[in-house]
Structure 1
């Protein structure tokens, strides 16, 4: 699942997991369960990285056993997507991208609405979302066709 907060990644991941039986791994769900809304905690990024590392270990095991995994990580950069595609290939698995190109104004609207809901997610200031949007690299046609890093 590729995209910024509010792009519908987790909603699509849930539906895909229900339809296919694939294991869905969503770091934000684990992080909020373990640490509540720690978005502004100094250890937030370290915690998030550790959760993703543990999830990859689980995913690698499932892939080695022939199962399917949905990584709901966001994958904001081409380099990160190429890295995980190579990891999957090394295990004999293939990587597919699921991405909806949602305009920034719609992402802002969705995140602002979600910020009003209680619990179960991070409150993301709109200016932070805008900063993240400047870093995000949308997948190109090659990536969408399953060709990574080339």
Structure 2
């Protein structure tokens, strides 16, 4: 069976990690989560400059690890979010270049529900802290899927 690249699209708090963990177990697959790596490498609440530099390096490492896993015949689940059309276009181009199928799963929720979940998660040990002003900034930057973007909505 050919390995597949699975990616989860959605805003903070949409349930991406819950879905990614389910896929990891059911497929099975290697699950790669940028927030978990950030917390492990840079802490629960890294300063913005550390976060920006750190996330770029983490994304490079995750991509390298994902490529190797796919080469070895393993399914991969990318638990990131792909908030912009450009990031999703890049994801599709990358999968095409690797010659692997891409399954994009879309999760959505209201702004109020997203903040409720983020505030709850902020209090949990080991989670990546999201300040209210950061949440607001991110909400304005989030781009929903376009009508031409193939995706699946999980049950």
Whole-angstrom CA distance in 2 between matches of 1:89 and 1:64: 14
1:77·1:136 contact (CA, 8 Å) conserved in 2?
A: yes
1:1-150 equivalences in 2 (<5 Å): 1-117=8-124, 119-145=125-151
**Runs of at least 5 residues in structure 1 that lack an aligned partner in the other structure:** none
Shift of 1:127: 2.5
Do 1:64 and 1:92's aligned partners in 2 also have CA atoms closer than 8 Å? no
RMSD of aligned alpha carbons = 1.6
Checking the alignment, whether the CA contact within 8 Å between 2:34 and 2:59 is kept in structure 1 is: yes
CA distance in structure 2 between the partners assigned to 1:87 and 1:73 by the alignment: 15
Is the CA contact (8 Å cut-off) linking 2:36 and 2:128 kept in structure 1? no
Contact 2:32 2:76 in 1 (8 A): yes
Q: Tell me, what secondary structure is at the counterpart of 2:77? A: strand
> How far 1:145 sits from its partner (Å)?
4.2
1:126 Cα deviation (Å)?
Answer: 2.1
1:66 and 1:122 mapped to 2: Cα distance? 31
Q: Scaled by the length of structure 2, what TM-score is found?
A: 0.86
Runs of 4+ residues deviating >4 angstroms: none
Partner of 2:4: none
Q: How many residues are matched?
A: 145
Contact residue 85 and residue 94 of structure 1 kept, 8 A: no
CA-to-aligned-CA distance 1:33-56 (integer Å, 9 cap, x gap):
122123324221111110111010
